[in-house]
Amino acid sequence: MKARALCILLAAASFFLPSSTSTDRIDRAASISGNQTLVSPGGVFELGFFSPGGGADGTRKYLGIWYAKVPGPTVVWVANRQSPLVNSPGVLRISADGRLVILDGRNATVWSSATAPATATITSRASARLLDDGNFVLRSDGGGGGVAWQSFDYPTDTLLPGMKLGVDNRAGITRNITSWTSPTDPAPGAYTFKLVTGGLPQFFLFRGPATRIYTSGPWNGAMLTGVPHLRSQGFSFVVESGPDETYYSYYIRNASVLSRFVVDGAAGQLQRFVWSNGAWSNFWYYPSDPCDGYAKCGPFGYCNSAQSSLCSCLPGFVPRSPDQWNLRDASGGCVRTTNLSCGGGGDGFWVVNRMKLPEATNATVYAGMTLEQCREVCLGNCSCRAYAAADVAGGGSRGCVIWGVDLLDMRQYSTPVQDVYIRLAQSDIDALKAAEANRRRSGKTTVIAIVCAISGVLLMAAICCCFWRTKVRRRLQSKMASSAPSGGGNCKVRKPRLDVDWKCSEKDVDDLPLIDLDAILAATDNFAEENKLGEGGFGPVYLGKFEDGQKVAVKRMSQRSVQGVQEFTNEVKLISKLQHRNLVRLLGFCIDDDERLLIYEYMDNQSLDTFIFDEGKRKLIGWQKRFEIILGIARGLLYLHEDSRFRIIHRDMKASNVLLDRDMIPKISDFGIARMFGGDQTTAYTLKVIGTYLGVIVLEIVTGKKNRGFYDPELDLTLLGYAYMLWKGGRSAELVDEVMDGGFNHSEVLRCIQVALLCVDVQPRNRPTMSSVVMMLASENATVPEPNEPGVNIGKNTSDTDSSYGLTTRSVTTTETCTR
């Protein structure tokens, strides 16, 4: 009876708080329960009770903090993650002894904050306040007095800007982040990211209590050597290391940006998210490639993701097990070719750079030693394997670190990181020096021979070039002029000039710049292989960078290209007339002898297929972003079909021809085989549809699966046939990519699938126009007809030729535009 009476009193007390309060704090006389929340002063964060996964069962409730203006909610902290309220209301209040407590319906304590430190004397004015940085702070006197407790000291799975990850020896606090068990269960999961003390500061991602799967690399005073590019990503960070406290923390240079650093249990990764354009964008994640795996190449081995073999041995070492090494199993690592003399004076050091420092948790740091002193100490210690500077901040060298254990978890980068001095037998050092000298001599001889040969060839080529240059250029220019459409403006070919302004402004659309070949060669470093972005039917595509820093993509027609001069001139004429947010912009072109090049704006995130068909990357695109991409593609096609100067059917629509810019905005590319129709034409026919239909791309985006590669042997169905079967059975939600784990808008998904099936109807007359498609996708109130059987060969025999995505090739008209 007493417990029931207390519950009634608590309910009565909380009745005076509104269902969604605007206050940011509670004091000893107040509490929150039910749907009541605290909101930080600037409206950034909100604190209250919630049910994970949107409260599907409603039986488990937790006290948490989430972003106030981000739908979801996106929870960043949970108080009682191991002790949910089950079938019971909860109340948060400040107890008599100055702790935050959660009470259940029987007045039992479900969770409580740690006892305040002795320095924080609790008074009757104690209060807890939610701040705009996401920190929930309990102060002993309610004002500017000492902090009795704060949520930032007890993170869950998320690190917010300003939070610390590490150890506070004075307060006896260890701050780790641990994944949720599942998206609907915030209990501690399998993955934990934490500091491992000893030697140099270093942070590890663990699976379970002891399995290391990734490490940041040791801190060398300037960087975490496993993430040497971290400073260039719009964030600033600090690593502090001392006897009282060692921690990592980060800050955002643009204070208006929302960002969170999360341990994702489903992916087994560390992920940094940024809120952009109404969705969370994955800024980066680790591990991100095989070389990020902990100790991938074993003792004295190192990993390089630019090499096909990945693992190599340090100089002076060979594989421990050549047979396993040849089978791509390098876990056994490497062994010395010659044993150390240990005190006999026969050892020395070989310097390696561009390396992630070996794991240094068991290394010994000497703060006051110079590198020369460190060298002597290492030579005098039989167990010493290597040494390096302990602190290289500001380009200096302070203190040193000595490894008396096997060197593990090294990785080679393309840029310098820090010198590491590897101890070797002097005979091995002499052999390495001799080999290096031979390489230099051989290189010089080779260079001389190549220079002589090239000089002769260039001389002959120059003579031939002078003879043929004018003739070839006139022929190409004549083809361009003769194929210009009547009344549609000219795609003028101007003489190349060295001072050409390569930028294409609004007024240049119909008079596209002809860019000098020399400028393109300089921008692409003579079409260097490392600048190659990919290759298609036209030829290779290269990254270029002009003198003013602007990046571009350069399409170079290959000699073996299936596309010819006609396709080249066609693409120039078409794209020069197109201006739309969802179309790739052509900046210029080049005709120089046999060279034909198109210069486009550079797309930072490459093509759509590299995201939605990649096991790792497709996890980074949530439903909201996928829906925006679908809408963007549809709007781009609508412009081509109905709103541009000429009616255009792309005829090669597929995921690889949709590019993504820095903000993941989709842009349609590759117009080499598009058909152009007059602005007054309402019907025209095309027999060559070699790509896919919009409906197929939509289904691929929804499912994360290729139509051409999907086949259900039990049901004898392709992706389109399978999608139609599920639609007819009312089970379309089963199509959704499993990596989204239920995190999608159900009605939007169903609408997209329904529209996609309409666009691949077996009867062309039933397929909607692009204006109808955009309206149906964008409007929740639009009427969407029931789809019929898709126009696809529903079986095993899909063609890889003209109808490469399994669609029946047929005559189509511009009024049935969602199909092209």
Tell me the CATH number at 716: 1.10.510.10
Q: pLDDT per residue over 567-586, tens digit each?
A: 666 667 666 767 788 888 88
* pLDDT class of 593 with cuts at 50, 70, 90: confident
The DSSP call for residue 357 is P
Q: How far apart are CA 595 and CA 600, in angstroms?
A: 16
Identify the pLDDT of residue 374.
Answer: 94
Is residue 4 domain-shared with residue 71, that is, in the same domain? yes
pLDDT at 504 over 50: no
Over 60: is that where the pLDDT of 784 sits?
yes
- Specify whether the CB–CB gap between 26 and 10 falls below 8 A: no
Q: How crowded is residue 652: how many other Cβ atoms within 10 Å of its Cβ?
A: 23
Q: What angle do CA 167, 173, 175 make, to 5 degrees?
A: 60
Does the annotation mark 604 as catalytic? Answer: no
Cα(33)–Cα(85) distance, integer angstroms: 12
Q: Would you say residue 552 lies in a domain?
A: yes
Please answer whether residues 708 and 799 qualify as being in contact, where contact means their C-beta atoms are separated by less than 8 angstroms: no
Per-residue tokens: 464? 């031939």
pLDDT in tens, 118-127: 555 566 788 9
Q: From 584, 578, 585, select the one nearest 659 (Cα to Cα).
A: 584
- Does position 687 have pLDDT exceeding 50, yes or no? no
Give the tens place of pLDDT for each residue, 51-97: 997 544 568 999 999 999 998 889 999 999 999 999 888 999 999 88
- Paired sense of beta strands 301-303 and 410-411, if any: parallel
Is the pLDDT at 40 greater than 80, yes or no? yes
pLDDT at 683: 40
Residues 6 or more apart whose CB falls under 8 angstroms from that of 820 comprise 637, 641, 649, 650, 651, 653, 686, 689, 693, 812
Distance (Å, whole) CA 292 – CA 413:
12
Could you tell me if 145 and 139 are in contact, meaning their C-beta atoms sit under 8 angstroms apart?
yes
Contacts of 75-80 with C-beta under 8 Å, sequence gap 24+, read 75/50, 75/158, 75/186, 76/45, 76/134, 76/156, 76/158, 76/160, 76/260, 77/134, 77/136, 77/151, 77/155, 77/156, 77/158, 78/156, 78/186, 79/111, 79/151, 80/110, 80/111
Helix (H) or strand (E) holding 727: helix 719-728
Q: Which range, 92-106, 594-608, 682-696, 791-805, is most confident?
A: 92-106
SS3 463: helix
Q: Are residues 678 and 638 in the same domain?
A: yes
Q: What is the pLDDT of residues 647-658, one digit of tens each?
A: 677 667 888 889
Going by C-beta distance under 8 Å and a sequence separation of 6 or more, which residues neighbour residue 559?
Answer: 594
CA distances from residue 776 to 234, 527, 631, 727 in whole angstroms, order as listed: 38, 44, 10, 17
Give domain status of residue 455, yes or no.
no
**Where do the DSSP E strands lie in 548-646?**
551-556, 586-592, 595-601
Residues 621, 701: one domain?
A: yes
Residue 391, C-beta contacts closer than 8 angstroms, at least 6 positions apart: 220, 221, 222, 397, 398, 399
Among residues 583, 601, 619, the one where a domain terminates is 601
Which residue, of 288, 317, 340, is where some domain finishes?
Answer: 288
- The most distant pair of C-alpha atoms in the chain lies apart, rounded to whole Å, by 107
Q: DSSP secondary-structure letter at 514?
A: B
**φ and ψ at residue 208, rounded to 5 degrees:** 75, -165
Judgement on whether residues 554 and 513 belong to the same structural domain of the protein = yes
DSSP structural state of residue 248 = E
Residue 447 belongs to a domain: no
pLDDT at 180 over 90: yes
Residue linked to tokens 């040494």: 387
Same domain membership, residue 179 and residue 135: no
Report which of 62, 92, 59, 99 is spatially closest to residue 77, judged by C-alpha positions. Answer: 62
Distance, in Å, from the CA atom of 586 to the CA atom of 555, rounded to the nearest integer, reads 11
CA distance 87 to 105: 9
Residue 463 belongs to some domain of the structure:
no
Select which of 24, 157, 652, 737 is catalytic.
652
Instruction: Write down the pLDDT at residue 753.
Output: 93
Q: Let me know whether 638 and 774 are in one domain.
A: yes
- Alpha-carbon distance of 494 to 590, in angstroms, equals 10
Q: Does 638 share its domain with 651?
A: yes
Q: Which class for 172: exposed (0-12), middle (13-18), buried (19 or more C-beta within 10 A)?
A: exposed
Three-state DSSP class for 50? strand
Cα end-to-end distance, the chain, whole Å: 73
Give φ, ψ of 283 to 5 degrees. -70, -45
Across 169-309, where does the E strand assignment appear?
Answer: 173-175, 177-182, 185-196, 202-207, 211-215, 235-241, 245-252, 259-264, 269-276, 279-286, 301-303
CA–CA separation, 817 and 685 (whole Å): 11
Distance CA 152, CA 77 (A): 9
Rounded CA-CA distance 722/66 in Å is 38
Residue 85 CB neighbours (<10 A): 22
Say if residue 662 is in the same domain as residue 723. Answer: yes
The count of C-alpha atoms lying within 13 angstroms of the C-alpha of 285, restricted to the half-sphere facing its C-beta, is 20
Q: How confident is the model at residue 219 (pLDDT cuts 50, 70, 90)?
A: very high
Number of structural domains in the chain: 5
Cα 10 to Cα 2, 108, 126: the distances in Å are: 12, 13, 19
pLDDT tens profile 457-467: 667 666 665 56
Q: Are residues 279 and 297 in the same domain?
A: no
Residues 6 or more apart whose Cβ sits within 8 Å of residue 665 = 581, 582, 628, 632
Tokens standing for residue 757:
């099936």
Mean pLDDT confidence for 650-668: 85
The DSSP letter of residue 735 is G
Question: For residue 570, what pLDDT is reported?
Answer: 66
Tokens of 614: 């990649």
User: Does the residue 161 lie in any domain?
Assistant: no
The answer to whether 655 and 697 have CB atoms below 8 angstroms apart is: yes
Distance CA 300, CA 410 (A): 8
DSSP string of 383-412, one letter each residue: T--EEEEEE-GGG--EEEEEE-S---SEEB
In this structure, the answer to whether residues 351 and 243 fall within a common structural domain is no
448 falls within a domain: no
Kindly give, in sequence order, each residue whose CB lies less than 8 Å from that of residue 295, ignoring residues fewer than 6 positions away: 212, 331, 359, 408, 409
Predicted confidence at residue 234, as pLDDT, reads 60
**For residue 815, is pLDDT > 90?**
no
pLDDT digits (tens, 9 = 90+) for 321-358: 998 888 888 999 999 999 998 876 789 999 998 899 99
Percent of the chain with pLDDT over 70: 75
468 found inside a domain? no
CATH number at residue 544: 3.30.200.20
Rounded to the nearest integer, the mean pLDDT of the chain is 79
CATH number at residue 139: 2.90.10.10
pTM for the full predicted model: 0.56
Cα pseudo-dihedral 28, 33, 35, 38, rounded to 10: 20
pLDDT tens profile 348-403: 999 998 899 999 999 999 998 999 999 999 999 999 999 999 999 877 888 999 99
| E strands present in 694-754 | none
Residues 414-468 have pLDDT tens digits of: 777 889 999 999 999 999 998 888 777 665 566 666 666 666 766 766 666 556 5
Burial status of residue 74 (CB atoms within 10 A of its CB: 0-12, 13-18, 19 or more): middle
Q: Are residues 568 and 679 in the same domain?
A: no
% of the chain beyond a pLDDT of 90: 39
pLDDT at 120: 53
Q: Three-class SS string for 271-332? A: EEEEEECCEEEEEEEECCCHHHCCCCCCCCEEECCCCCCCEEECCCEEECCHHHHHCCCCCC
Mean pLDDT of 477-495: 37
Per-residue pLDDT reduced to its tens digit, 194-208: 999 989 999 999 999
Same domain, 216 and 118: no
| Domain assignment of residue 139, yes or no | yes
The tokens describing 745, both together, are 């808008």
Mean pLDDT (whole number) for 31-42: 94
Question: What is the rounded distance in angstroms from the CA atom of residue 443 to the CA atom of residue 448?
Answer: 9
Chain centroid to CA 542: 21
Distance separating alpha carbons of residues 212 and 207, to the nearest angstrom:
6
Question: Range of 233's domain?
Answer: 168-288
Which pLDDT score is estimated for 649?
Answer: 72
> Where is the domain boundary, 288, 311, 346?
288
506: CB partners within 8 A, 6+ apart = 579
